Structures are given as structure tokens and as C-alpha cells.
Structure 1
Amino acid sequence: MTEYQKVRVSKLILKNEKVKKKKKKDKSKKIDQKVNMEENQDKINHGNWAEAKLVSEISGPVALEFGCQTYVTAMDNGLFTLGPPHNEGDGPLPEEILTAISISETKIAFKSGYGKYLGVDKDGTIVGRSDAIGPLEQFEPIFEDNKLAILASTGCFIRIRDEDDSLVAMSRTAGTSEIVKVRLNAPESAEVEVDKLDEKKGNIKDIEKNYVKMFQKFQDKKMRMIEGKQSQLKKAQKEGKLHESLLDRRAKTKADRYCK
């Protein structure tokens, strides 16, 4: 090989010419965005009830979903069964909502709408008849590969029994039948948060600015405030009609994603 051949061939760079660096595409951001969109759509499909991803999230009103759009429902005799399928966009019914109580970092307890704690009977049937939390009323949610199974105090995982659709804990291994989703009552949307604005307190300019932030998309990183007299907003504030006045002004903003 000659010395000439050893010379590395590269693009000719002229004097004073800036070398452009190739931008590396951040694939992780796209993946995160896709996951967020899927989770948000899943929440909408279940009536604003999101799927729990961590044990620490399982607290307060919850619903146990086995299969698709079907939830565990409490009966007045203390037993539990699988409720009817729900339409897309519908959340669980009142009798399908339990209250989760955190006992430790790994264990929780469930209380039915009848005010009784869920526990395990001798034959493995899940019943809600206890007035207090004892060893039999403690459950351990176990996440693995983004899937959840709930271990009862007997060392068996809960599932829906095929014969009568009752809730039982009989299997010491977690298979397809033992996979469950704990649905959480997700926070209300920004539209509802607007109702919590205090119409009588605060600087009117700051109130309008915060209001616009809730709804406006900043495609060019610029906030578009409607030109107009703030005296009109102050008058509406005194009359208790601030929300209506802000909505009228917001409707004129082309960048607004909720108003045309």
C-alpha cells in the first residue's frame, strides 16, 4: 500500500466554512411520547381511570379489572363476582369501586363499598365481611414485566373462577388468569381545574395569564394574550362572571386547542 493510499478520504472543507454536526435523533423521547399517548388513550377508554404502575400508587378509590372493561363487583352477601362488560369510555360502577389502604411499602388492604375489608376464606374464596384489618386481609401487589398479580395472605394469587365468576385465591403461580389491572381514579382535567379558580382574589392580569397557560399550545413558544380592556374582566370578577368573560376572550385565540 502506498503512502498516498493511506491518506484518509474526507469531504473538502473550505476556509471559514463551518462544519455542521449531525444531530442524533433522540429515540427515547419518541418512545416516551408514544407510551404517554397510549396510556392517556387507555385512561380515556376507561372513563378517566388510569392503570396503576407502582405499588405506591394503589391507594384510595380503585377498581380491579380482569380481562377488558370488566371489573370485580361487590355483592350484599359479602362475596365478589365479575361484573358485566362496560362500553368504551365508561368507568366502573359504584359497586365495582373499592378503597385501597396502604399497610406497608409492599402490602395493602381493600375495603368494599359496604364498609367491610376483603379477606380470604378457608376454601380460598375472597370475602368482604371483616370490620378490621388482620393477617388474612392483607394483599401484596406484585409487578413483573409491566404486568400485575395480587398475592393473598394464603400465598395464592387472586383470579376469577371460571365456573361461577367468583373472586378466589387458589393458584400459587401467576398465569394469564391471575393478571389483573388496578384502575385508579385519575386526576381531573385542566378544564375542571379552571372551576377552582378564585374569582374574587388575586391580580386580574395574573389570573388571565394562568388561565391562558392551562389551555394554549405554544407552538412558537409565544403566549398570545387577547388585547382588550382589563376593566371588563375586573367588572366580571365583581359580578362573579369571570369564567364566562375569560372564556369569551379565550375563544378569540387562534392557538387555543379548545376554542376556535
Structure 2
Amino acid sequence: MADEYAAVKRGKLILKGDRPKAKKRKHKSDKKKSEGSKVDEDSIKHGGWWKVSKIEDITGSVSIEFGPNSYVSALDNGLFTVGAPHDEGDGPSPEEIFTAFPAGENKFALKSGYGKYLGVSKEGTVIGRSDAVGPMEQWEPVWEDGKTAILSSLNKFMSVNPEDDSVLAQSTAAGQHEFCCIRSNKAKEENKSVLPDEEQADLSQVEVNYVKKFQKFQDKKLRLNDGGVHELKKAKKDGTLHETLLDRRSKMKADRYCK
């Protein structure tokens, strides 16, 4: 296990609807409560990780399951594979857990435990080597007839190569190798968006936060782009906020990742 994943915490299984031990009689009201708090059997089989079925729930810790109890796993070279199947009742391993963020309307971004965002190359290989979220790092979930698929920015579906278990995004149609389950282990009533610490502020302060994080100047003086906040507002709405912030820092030569 990579050292970078040592700090990732596994989710605990929370069961609802346990019957009180002391009560002998079961009233009608108790029956209704019991029916309204059924245990998710599928979640139990996956260590408390439940199936996500709406974009609002793709935040925080998530995993992507291809095949029974087999999850997309990050490699230290920036590529991805599908790990060996887990025993029933076990959740994903640390390297199979990603952090999800909203990235525009009906889209999301994923960050691996190595601190890199998942994207797709022009050849259709899923890679995790980006420090910011641009168009290539945005993914769109597709749900139809109870099945889930993940669409890349190139309009190709994420899939698994059956020959070597590598993770690709090359198919224009969703089939057996493209169907997956996006899973979360957070409490279902928690629907708050999970944002990086740098974005827990208004947009003008967000830019300052990122400049401070990535600036390369030894004198530590801030060099901010004189573009207006309206540009950032539009970028956030279009799902290109990270790319726009990086471009603005690049123009000021204020980012150590800018070439």
C-alpha cells in the first residue's frame, strides 16, 4: 500500500431500523417506523458503500465498481486499473477511494489519493496527473434503466479493458464493460457539496487562496491577475473555474506548475 494512502479513513457501517430489545408488544406506529428504515442489503455486501443514483450525491469519498466488489484503483504512475475482487462485506481499499467535487452542471471531478485529478488523454486512456480541473478532468454520470455509466469530456464512456484490466474511455456506447456503480459511504442525508479548503470563500478570495498555494516567488508577494470577478463567475458556471484560475496565474507567471 502506498504511503500516500495511509491517512485515508474507511467508512463505518451504519445500520438503521434495529428493533428495541425491551419492548414485547409491537404497535402499529413501530411497524411503520420499521418499514420506513429498511436496511440496505446491497450496502452491507459492500462494507457500507451504497449506490449513488443522483449527481448531488457524487461528493466526498466515492469509489467506482466495475464487476462485483471490484473497484477502480489508482497506480503511482498516474494510470488506473481494476483491483482484485473483495470479499462480500468488505469495502474498497484506500487506493480505490477517490474524492469527488462538483464541476459544473451535471458533472463532477475526481481526485485520487495521490492528489491528482482524473482525466482522459486524447487516446482515451484514463489518467490522473493533473493539478487542476479543466475540461478533460470533467465527468458526467449517466443513469438509464437502473444502470450507470460515466461519460468523459470526449463523449466516450469509461470502461475496463478485459485483456489487462486497464481503465479507458474509448467507447461511444455503454455496454457490458462500461456499466459500473458509483458508490459512497457518507450518510445519505448529508447532501452538502464538498469543496477544497481553497474554495471555502467568495471567488475573489478563492483566487488569492490558490495564488498563495501555488506561487513561486521567493518574496511571497501576491501577484494577482487584474481580470474581473465576472470572468471567474462565468467560469464557475461553465465548470472551468480551475482552468481559468490556472490560466490567470500563468499570465502573471505566478504558478510553479505553469510552463
Runs of 4+ more than 2 Å apart: none
- The answer as to whether partners of 1:55 and 1:105 remain within 8 angstroms in 2 is no
**TM (normalized to structure 2)?**
0.57
Superposed CA RMSD in Å reads: 2.2
Query: Taking CA–CA contacts closer than 8 Å with sequence separation of 6 or more, which of the two structures ends up with the larger relative contact order?
Result: 2
1:159-198 mapped onto 2 (5 Å cutoff): 159-187=159-187
| Structure 2, unpaired ranges of 5+ | 1-31, 189-259
Aligned to 2:135: 135
- The answer as to whether partners of 1:109 and 1:139 remain within 8 angstroms in 2 is yes
- The answer as to whether partners of 2:157 and 2:178 remain within 8 angstroms in 1 is yes
* Larger Cα-atom Rg: 1
**d(CA) in 2 for partners of 1:74, 1:137:** 15
SS at match of 1:92: coil
**TM (normalized to structure 1)?**
0.57
- The answer as to whether partners of 1:160 and 1:177 remain within 8 angstroms in 2 is yes
Equivalent residue pairs, number: 157
- Following superposition, the deviation at residue 173 of structure 1 comes to 0.7
Please give the per-residue CA displacement for 1:123-167, whole angstroms capped at 9, x wherever unaligned.
110000000001100010011112111000111000001121001
**d(CA) in 1 for partners of 2:126, 2:104:** 21
**d(CA) in 2 for partners of 1:155, 1:104:** 16
Aligned to 1:244: none
Aligned to 2:104: 104
**1:115 corresponds to 2:115:** yes
- The answer as to whether partners of 1:56 and 1:105 remain within 8 angstroms in 2 is no
| Structure 1, unpaired ranges of 5+ | 1-29, 189-260
- Following superposition, the deviation at residue 105 of structure 1 comes to 3.1
- What is the letter of the counterpart of residue 117 of structure 1? Y
1:58-69 mapped onto 2 (5 Å cutoff): 58-69=58-69
Q: Percent of aligned pairs with the same residue?
A: 52
Please give the per-residue CA displacement for 1:30-54, whole angstroms capped at 9, x wherever unaligned.
9xx59x74x7111111111111011
Please give the per-residue CA displacement for 1:184-206, whole angstroms capped at 9, x wherever unaligned.
01329xxxxxxxxxxxxxxxxxx
**d(CA) in 1 for partners of 2:62, 2:104:** 17
